[in-house]
Amino acid sequence: MSKKDTLVKTAARLFAAQGFDATTTIQIAREARITEPLIYYHFKGKEDLFLHILEKGSDGYLSRMKTLGEGGPVQFKRIEKLITLHFDIVRDMPDETYLIASACPARLRDEGDVCARIAETQRKFLTSYLRDCLKKGMASGEFWKVPVEPTVNVLIALINGLIRQRCLRLEQVRGMKKATIEFCRRSLCKP
């Protein structure tokens, strides 16, 4: 791992554990085993480093979302993969996910902010993906007839809630992924 990668990973961990304001560049440098000027070589400052972490986390999230592809003829399998992917992202990128879920809500009103862009990109992808699944599933007779747009919004809210619950370390119930998938299966699929 390069020094820059170590710096970014250490900063993400510290920002997630202590918050942006309580984390200093001196502390980041010390824990990353680099010099503080190296931070300023790669980034304009702590805010720039923080924004880089948010963007990198978003890029990782979106690249994994794109691996879902068109899927096969069974539309619920696509929805199940989407739910599983979100649980996996929280597991694999806990600090980045936590920072996006905790820091971004306060920044969403500023249309130029990286967080607003992340939220809009996520919403567009999820909306398109879920709308396609629902329409194809209803057309094939796999799913009950449901109102597409409200159902898409409910599923997006469910996914975002699960991410927030898990990354904010509020989850206390084992088997949450299985329960979520089964709830969606019973709600959408015909017997």
pLDDT tens per residue across span 1-45: 899 999 999 999 999 999 999 999 999 999 999 999 999 999 999
Report the 3 state secondary structure along 83-116: HHHHHHHHHHCHHHHHHHHHHCHHHCCCCCCHHH
Burial class from Cβ neighbours inside 10 Å (0-12, 13-18, 19+) for residue 110 reads: exposed
**What is the model's pLDDT at position 163?**
82
**What is the model's pLDDT at position 168?**
59
Query: Which pTM does this prediction carry?
Result: 0.89
Name the residue with tokens 């480093």: 49
- Please give the domain boundaries of the chain with CATH numbers for all domains: 1-42 (1.10.10.60), 55-188 (1.10.357.10)
* Span 119-145, average pLDDT: 96
Burial class from Cβ neighbours inside 10 Å (0-12, 13-18, 19+) for residue 176 reads: middle
